[in-house]
Amino acid sequence: MKNKVRCTSWLCILITIITMSLLRAEITEKLRTEDKCLSCHQEMELLPADFQDYDIHLQNGLSCAGCHGGDPSSEDPEIAMSPQKGFIGIPAKKDIPQLCGKCHSKIDFMRTFQPGISTDQVQQYFTSVHGKKLNLGDKKVAECVSCHTAHQIPTVKDARSSVYPLNVPATCNHCHGDQQYMEGYKIPTDQFDKYSRSVHGQNLLEKKDISAPACNDCHGNHGATPPGIASVSHVCGNCHVNNLEFFAASPMAKPYSELEMHACEQCHGYHDVGKTFDEMVGVGEQSVCIACHSEGDKGFQSAVEIYTSVKELVNTLDSAHHKLREVQKRGMDDVDISFLLQEANQTLVYTRTLVHTFDPVKINEKSNEGVVKTREATLLADKEIKDYNFRRRGFGIATIFITILVIALFFKIRFMEKKKGNS
Amino acid sequence: MKNAMQKIFSWFDERYDVTPIIDFASKKKVPVHRHMIWYYMGGVTLFLFITQVATGILLLFYYRPGADSAYESMRFILTKVNFGWLIRSIHSWSANLMVFFVFVHMFSTFFTRAYQKPRELTWLTGFILLALSLGFGFSGYLLPWNELAFFATKVGTDIAGSVPLIGKPIMAILRGGEDVSGATLTRFYAFHVAMLPAIFTVFVGIHLPFVQRQGMSEPEELAKMGENEKKVMNFFPNFFLRDALLWLIVLNVLLFLAVFYPWDLGFKADPFSPAPAGIRPEWYFMFMFQTLKFIPPHVLVFEGEVVGILLFMLAGLAWALVPFWEIKSKSRGLTHPMTIIGLIALVFIGVMTVLGYIF
Amino acid sequence: MKSDQRVNGSSRRKFLNILIGGGLLGWVGSVLYPIFSYLNPPEIPEANVNSIKAGPASDFPLNQGKILKFGKKPVILIQMNAGEFKAFTATCTHLDCIVQYRQDTKQIWCACHNGVYDTNGRNLSGPPPRPLDEYKVNIINNEIIIINPAS
């Protein structure tokens, strides 16, 4: 049943792709011959540097005149590019959002191409820092074309798009990482540097996991504004739900907001948020707790207890995994042990998440649960190793019996033949 | 104790007249000479066969044939069943040892020219038993339904299928279809636990009585001596006890191998995944496999593989019929033509097997 | 002299015979013990290959999920509405955490990165790239049986 459904939708997709590509090929072919802007500029090799065939506007029949105005049916440049015919040449930077918005803000127009498409990009843009500065006449700030390019815009899902998740950090960094360019704006230019070292950046840029957050996942797409104090934790909390919920209900939430400290960022950083490690909790050198807490206060004590609980589970799990490897090295059955350890690992993840409650009792409860499960696994592992040794001992005993028998037989034969003279 | 034994004996004797059999058995003699060690090889093979039947029957209690259950039931035997690991490893090792000793037994009877009159049919039935043993090995190997076995079976049945004319139907019968699948597993199971044991038992039931009836063959020097000059020993109890001794040692070796070199389970067969690197047949097929690799793709008009297979079939047939075309000669030792032929065969098999593992 | 030898001979013979008898007995025991142990079925009498039993359906609470072991893998069994059971692989398709059933939203949720699946196993939101594999659920004589769909 399932196979049938899969087959059919596969077939549908295949047919759609073929039809669309045929249609698109038709459109671009048609355009190339009928649209005189295209045909002349192509002939004279005067196409813009970023001109690409896969541009989605071109694919859907919107050619040069659609944005630049003019008369695409005329071969005479004076007519084709006359202001009377609406030709605007290269649009001014501050006019670009409105130019794009001419279509992209019109619901009834855009939705003929894609029913669910959003049409508030321009509106959002003008709430952003980029948009506000553009209105004040800033000539360096980003507008539509800065991120999306002008003549090579594929769909967002196309990996060639400058705003495809894997490419977003580089696109933002194009300006924000350029110290000279950003001079005068008084914001740092090391965000990309920090981000590419962060756990999010590593996952996105190196492991190519597009579910990892890029700049726009935290900062927003068109309404790009640096998050405020409360909004940082909300941003993190979009994916790290439990961590946020636990923190918000913890005794740390109130003092943080009173002291105007950024919740998640305070301990984890933001652009350079690294892979968390257990030593961040507790009172050791790498702990984030001792930044505020010192010996004698309740928080210090809690930190010690929390670290102890977590470490107990970690250590128990470590030795259990070591035992598992011993079992595997001996070629004994590791299935049930692995399953239990999988569950115990999950409990460790949960224990570490519970750290954000800053409640030593709750955390200890969970870590004990994990320890119990780990001990179960360790018992199984011990049994397997015992069995391994039993086999060898059993072999030894069997060999002893057989050897006795063999020796006895040997002497019996000798004895028998000596007596009877081999007849 | 002795009285009880005598009472039981006479109970049977009254009903079945067992005395002549006892008489015959007690009179059985085995020639004694410096090459008599080879006399034990057939017995060892028999012992290993008995081990196979015993462990095989035990495995039957838990093994479940079928593409969805074979591998899992093997895993179950190896991990959950008490001593399952032992029974399985003994079965796998004993299989290999049995094939090894079958070859040893065959070559020893060849070089001592025991195939000569009156023992032609003993040789022939023996050859059939060798072929059946290889069949056991080939069919049993697939039963755990793991990756290596699956692809080895694929390659092996492919080769069978390249025999001209009858190849394709034979391959279809072996595979239970076009490809190696669950159907192949089912019929290999039927071959392995039912058909082959039945046929094997029939031929052992011919081979052994032949040996009993005719007695052990003697080397030429002994045959020329008079009856009073020959050194002989009683089969019961002397040779029998020596046999038992050797069998016990072989059993201990089997146990050692099972405990210290347990047999792998491997990964479950996946018909859709590509063949893993380095698939090879079991060692007893290696020499044929390697030979086929050496034959060029085309020999005159014919496909190389087909030529190779036909050559092996001819060689096998010739070997089976040795008693009937034997080159008789007066020469002794290494100069005898049959000895030379045997040595060529032995060296060929040995070298090809080793090469199969180097390359 | 000869009688001495004979006496020594027969006592040696007796010793050998006892040794052989005893050795034989020990050997037979060491062969029969594993065989009988082998024939004695283990606790779980058969390989759980294609299906597992999850207990009586009437005992399973409504609007709840439970994690069970299917061979090596965790499986989540849910009863959304009365009598309506579903089972899926419990390993999240994002980074392998174990998912859970949320009674409030009636969805399958992964706590690690807020991945959400619907009760058909389809990934709805969050990072998971693929739906959860579904297992078949049969109820025979009030017994819940979860079946591997690949078989």
Q: What angle do CA C78, A241, A368 make, to 5 degrees?
A: 70
Smallest Cα distance from A3 to chain C, Å: 12
Which parts of A105-240 fold into alpha helices (H)?
A: 107-110, 121-125, 129-135, 144-148, 168-176, 191-197, 199-201, 215-219, 229-237
DSSP 8-state class, residue A112: T
Give the residue extent of every domain in chain B: 38-218+230-285
Chain C CA closest to residue B241: C20
Contacts of C45 (CB under 8 A, 6+ apart): none
In contact, A162 and A171? CB cutoff 8 Å: yes
Burial of residue B132, with CB atoms counted within 10 A of its CB: 0-12 exposed, 13-18 middle, 19 or more buried? buried
How far from A43 is each of A33, A37, A90, CA to CA, in Å?
11, 10, 20
**pLDDT, tens only, B154-187:** 989 988 888 888 889 999 999 999 889 999 999 9
Closest CB from C12, C23, C74 relative to A404: C23
Q: Which DSSP category does C98 fall into? A: B
pLDDT exceeds cutoff 70 at A3: no
CA distances for A401 relative to B78, B260, B293, angstroms: 25, 18, 48
A7 Cβ neighbours under 8 A, 6+ residues apart:
none
Of A412, A422, A423, Cβ closest to residue B241: A412
Q: How confident is the model at residue A422, as a pLDDT? A: 47
Axis crossing angle, helix B304-320 with helix B283-294, rounded to the nearest 10 = 130
**Segment A241-252 mean pLDDT:** 90
Closest A-chain CA to C99: A346
Read off the pLDDT band of B103 (50, 70, 90): very high
Q: Which residues in chain A have Cβ-Cβ distances shorter than 8 Å to B85?
A: 391
Using CB atoms, which residue from C16, C114, C149 is nearest to A239? C114
Q: Which two tokens stand for residue A106?
A: 């019109």
The pLDDT score that the predictor gives to residue C43 is 81
Nearest by CB to A401, which of C26, C69, C112?
C26
Rounded to an integer, what distance in angstroms lies between the CA atom of residue C151 and that of residue C148? 6
Contact criterion met (CB < 8 Å) for C20 and A342: no
CATH class of B38-218+230-285: mainly alpha
Residue of B nearest to A398 (CA): B252
Q: How high is the mean pLDDT of chain A?
A: 87
CA–CA dist B70, B60 (Å, integer): 11
Residue A422 token pair: 């081999």
Q: Closest-CA residue in chain A for B26?
A: A423
Of A148, A204, A153, A202, give the one whose Cα is nearest residue A174: A148
Tokens of B37: 């060690």
ipTM for the assembly:
0.82
**Which residues in chain A are contacts of C94 at CB distance < 8 A?**
211
Q: Quick one: pLDDT at residue C45?
A: 67
| Residue among A239, A343, A402 minimizing CB distance to C27 | A402
Chain B stretch 15-74, residues whose beta carbon is closer than 8 A to a beta carbon of chain A: none
**Measured between beta carbons, which residues in chain C are less than 8 angstroms from residue B58?**
35, 38-39
What is the model's pLDDT at position B226?
74
| pLDDT of A107 | 92
CB-side neighbour CA atoms (13 Å) of A405: 25
Find which of A323-327, B165-169, B212-216 is predicted with most confidence, using mean pLDDT. Answer: A323-327
Higher pLDDT, C140 or A326: A326
A261 in Cβ contact with A163 (< 8 Å)? no
Averaged pLDDT for residues A213-234: 76
Q: Which of A274, A296, A391, A21 is closest to A288 using CA atoms?
A: A274
Strand order in the sheet with C107-110: C100-102, C107-110, C115-117, C123-125
Of the candidate ranges A42-46, A149-153, B49-53, B277-281, the one whose mean pLDDT is the lowest: B277-281
Instruction: Please say whether the dihedral angle defined by the alpha carbons of residues B151, B154, B157 and B158, taken in this order, is positive or negative.
Output: negative
Q: Tokens at residue A81, please?
A: 């590019």
Calpha distance A175→A192 (Å, rounded): 11
Give me the residue from B245, B249, B259 closest to A395, CB to CB. B259
**In this model, does residue A22 exceed pLDDT 70?**
no
How far from chain centre, in Å, is Cα A317? 27
Q: Answer yes or no: are the C-beta atoms of A171 and A177 closer than 8 Å.
A: no
Q: What dotted CATH number matches C51-147?
A: 2.102.10.10
Does A404 sit within 8 Å of C16, measured CB to CB?
no
Number of H helices, E strands in chain A: 21, 0
Determine the residue type at B93. W
Nearest to C97 among A346, A402, A405 (CB): A346
Shortest Cα–Cα distance, B80 to chain C (Å): 6
Which residues in chain C have their CB less than 8 angstroms from residue B81's CB? 38, 42
pLDDT band of A7, cuts 50, 70, 90: very low
Residues 6+ apart with CB under 8 A from C105: C116
Q: Where are the beta strands (DSSP E) in A10-68?
A: none
- What is residue A92's DSSP assignment? P
pLDDT at B63: 96
Q: What is the mean predicted confidence (pLDDT) over C116-134?
A: 92
Other C-beta atoms closer than 10 Å to the C-beta of B264 total 13
Chain B residues in contact with A399 (beta carbon < 8 A): 252, 255-256
Nearest residue in chain A measured CA to CA from C26? A401
Distance, in angstroms, between B234 CA and closest chain C CA?
Answer: 19
| Exposure letters A65-76 (e unless 16+ CB within 10 A, then b) | bbbbbbbbebee
**Which residues of chain A lie closer than 8 angstroms to B245, CB-CB?**
406, 409-410, 413
Which residues, 6+ apart, have CB-to-CB distance to A9 below 8 Å?
A: none
Q: Give the distance from residue C145's alpha carbon to the nearest chain B alpha carbon, in angstroms.
A: 17
List, as ranges, residues 295-334 from A with C-beta within 8 Å of B.
Answer: 331-333
Instruction: Name the residue of chain C whose CA is nearest to A395's CA.
Output: C30
Q: State which H helix or E strand residue C86 sits in.
A: strand C85-89
Residue A5's pLDDT is 46
What's the token pair of residue B243? 């046999």
Q: Which of A20-24, A297-301, B58-62 has the lowest mean pLDDT?
A: A20-24
Closest Cα in chain B, distance from residue C49 (Å): 6
Burial class (CB in 10 A: 0-12, 13-18, 19+), B209: exposed
Amino acid at A382: D
* C24 in contact with chain A, both atoms CB, cutoff 8 A: yes
CA A154, A159, A165, A168 dihedral sign is negative
Q: Which two tokens stand for residue B255?
A: 């146990």
Give residue-wise pLDDT tens across range B255-284: 999 999 999 888 888 887 887 777 778 899
- Tokens 């040595």 locate to B343
Chain B CA closest to residue A334 = B79
Cα torsion for C38, C41, C47, C51, to the nearest 10°?
170
Tell me whether residues B86 and C34 touch, CB distance under 8 A. yes
Query: HEC states along chain B?
Result: CHHHHHHHHHHHHHHHCCHHHHHHHHHCEEECCCCHHHHHHHHHHHHHHHHHHHHHHHHHCCCCCCCCCHHHHHHHHHHCCCCHHHHHHHHHHHHHHHHHHHHHHHHHHHHCCCCCCCCHHHHHHHHHHHHHHHHHHHHHHHCCCEHHHHHHHHHHHHHHHCCCCCHHHHHHHHHCCCCCCHHHHHHHHHHHHHHHHHHHHHHHHHHHHHHHHHCCCCCHHHHHCCCCCCCEEEHHHHHHHHHHHHHHHHHHHHHHHHHHCCCCCCCECCCCCCCCCCCCCCHHHHHHHHHHHHCCCEECCEEHHHHHHHHHHHHHHHHHCHHHHCCCCCCCHHHCHHHHHHHHHHHHHHHHHHHHHHC
C145 near A CB under 8 A: no
Burial bucket for residue C22 (CB in 10 Å: 0-12, 13-18, 19+): middle
User: In terms of CA atoms, which chain A residue is nearest residue B253?
Assistant: A399
A230 shares contact with chain B (CB less than 8 Å): no
The b-or-e profile of B21-34 (16+ CB within 10 A means b, else e) is: eeeeeeebbbbeee
Closest Cα in chain C, distance from residue A207 (Å): 12
Q: Give the 3-state secondary structure of residue A251.
A: coil
Residues B88/B82, Cβ–Cβ less than 8 Å: no
Among A83-92, A220-229, A358-367, the range of highest mean pLDDT: A358-367
Confidence at residue A156, expressed as pLDDT on a 0 to 100 scale: 76
Higher local confidence (pLDDT), C48 or A46: A46
- Spell out which residues of chain A touch residue C19, defining contact as CB-CB under 8 Å: 404, 408
- Averaged confidence pLDDT in chain B: 91
Give the tens place of pLDDT for each residue, A55-81.
Answer: 899 888 888 888 898 888 888 888 888
Tell me which residue of B198, B204, B191, B192 sits closest to B129, measured CA to CA. Answer: B204
Instruction: State whether residue C147 sits within 8 Å of chain A by CB.
Output: no
Query: What's the pTM?
Result: 0.74
C100 bridge partner residues: C109
Residues of chain B contacting residue C71, judged by C-beta atoms under 8 Å apart: 72
Regarding beta strands C64-70 and C73-79, do their DSSP bridges make them parallel or antiparallel, or are they unpaired? antiparallel
Structure tokens at A220: 């927003």
pLDDT score for A230: 56
Query: Which chain A residues are within 8 Å of C73, Cβ to Cβ?
Result: 339
A402 close contact with B: CB closer than 8 A: yes
CA C75, C78, C84, C86 dihedral sign is: negative
Chain C residues touching B72 at Cβ < 8 A: 47-49, 71
Looking at the complex, does the CB of residue C36 fall below 8 Å from at least one CB of chain B?
no
In angstroms, the CA C108 to CA C92 distance is 10
Domain ranges of chain C: 1-42, 51-147
Partner-chain contact B58 C37, CB within 8 Å: no
Instruction: Tokens for C95, please give them.
Output: 């980074």
Region of residue C65 (left: phi > 0; alpha: psi -120 to 50; beta: else): beta
CA–CA separation, B50 vs A127, rounded Å? 88
Task: Assess A408–B contact: CB distance below 8 Å, yes or no.
Answer: no
Beta bridge partners of C79: C64, C85
Q: Cis before residue B118, ω within 30 degrees of 0?
A: yes
Note whether A399 contacts B: Cβ–Cβ < 8 A. Answer: yes
Edge-to-edge strands, sheet with C73-79? C51-56, C143-147, C134-140, C85-89, C73-79, C64-70
> How many interface pairs between A and C have CB atoms less than 8 angstroms apart?
65
